Amino acid sequence: ITILGIESSCDDTSAAVIQNGYLLSNIIASQKVHEAYGGVVPELASRAHQQNIVPVVDQAIRQAGINRDEISAVAFTRGPGLLGSLLVGTSFAKGFSLSAGIPMIDINHLQGHVLAHFIKEKEVEFHAPRFPHLCLLVSGGNSQIILVKDHLEMEVIGQTIDDAAGEAFDKCAKVMGMPYPGGPYIDRLAKEGNPLAYQFAKPRIKNLDYSFSGLKTSFLYFLRDQLQENENFIEENKADLCASLQKTIIDILMNKLVKAAKQTGIREITVAGGVSANSGLQNALRAESEKRHWNLFIPKFAFTMDNAAMIAITGYYKFLKGEFIGQDAVPFARMNINE
Tell me which of 19, 108, 139, 244 binds ligand ATP, using CB under 6 A.
139
Spatial distance between the Cα atoms of 167 and 145, rounded to a whole number of angstroms: 17
Spatial distance between the Cα atoms of 300 and 116, rounded to a whole number of angstroms: 9
| Closest CB to Fe ion among residues 209, 306 | 306
294 C-beta neighbours (distance < 10 Å), count: 21
User: If binding means CB under 5 A, how many residues of this protein chain bind Fe ion?
Assistant: 2
Question: Under rule CB under 6 A, which residues in 253-282 are in contact with ligand ATP?
Answer: 273-275, 277-278
Tell me which of 5, 79, 84, 141 binds ligand ATP, using CB under 6 A.
141
Tell me which of 52, 97, 139, 159 binds Fe ion, using CB under 5 A.
139
The pairing of beta strand 143-150 with beta strand 133-138 = antiparallel
Cα maximum dimension of the chain: 67
Spatial distance between the Cα atoms of 299 and 15, rounded to a whole number of angstroms: 18
Least distance from ligand ATP to the Cβ atom of residue 45, Å: 11
Least distance from ligand ATP to the Cβ atom of residue 96, Å: 23
Q: How far is CA 317 from CA 284, 304, 322, in A?
A: 31, 20, 9
CB 233 within 8 A of CB 176: no
Please check if 278 is assigned to a binding site.
yes
| Closest CB to ligand ATP among residues 2, 159 | 159
Q: Is residue 181 near ligand ATP by the rule CB under 6 A?
A: yes
Name the closest residue to Fe ion (Cβ): 306
| Closest CB to ligand ATP among residues 130, 191 | 191
Partner touching 163 among Fe ion, ligand ATP, none, CB below 5 to 8 Å by kind: none
Tell me which of 76, 163, 306, 319 binds Fe ion, using CB under 5 A.
306
Q: Is residue 5 near ligand ATP by the rule CB under 6 A?
A: no
| Closest CB to ligand ATP among residues 279, 327 | 279
Spatial distance between the Cα atoms of 325 and 159, rounded to a whole number of angstroms: 29
- 201-239 CB burial, b ≥16 within 10 A, e <16: bbbeeeebbbbbbbbbebbeebbeebeeeeeebeeebbb
What is the secondary structure of 95-151 as a DSSP string? HHHHHHT--EEEEEHHHHHHHGGG-EETTS---PPPSSEEEEEE-SS-EEEEEEEET
CB 240 within 8 A of CB 192: no
Spatial distance between the Cα atoms of 144 and 136, rounded to a whole number of angstroms: 6
CB 17 within 8 A of CB 74: no
Please check if 328 is assigned to a binding site.
no
Please check if 306 is assigned to a binding site.
yes
320 C-beta neighbours (distance < 10 Å), count: 12
* Interface pattern 73-112 for ligand ATP (x via CB under 6 A): -------xx---------------------------x---
| Closest CB to ligand ATP among residues 106, 170 | 170
From the list 53-61, 63-71, 137-145, 220-228, the region that binds ligand ATP by CB under 6 A is 137-145
DSSP label at 301? G
From the list 22-30, 175-183, 205-213, 317-325, the region that binds ligand ATP by CB under 6 A is 175-183
Annotated binding-site members for substrate = 137-141, 170, 183, 187, 278
Binding site for Fe ion (CB under 5 A): 139, 306
Annotated binding-site members for Fe cation = 109, 113, 306
Binding site for ligand ATP (CB under 6 A): 9-10, 80-81, 109, 113, 139-142, 166, 169-170, 181-184, 187, 273-275, 277-278, 305-306
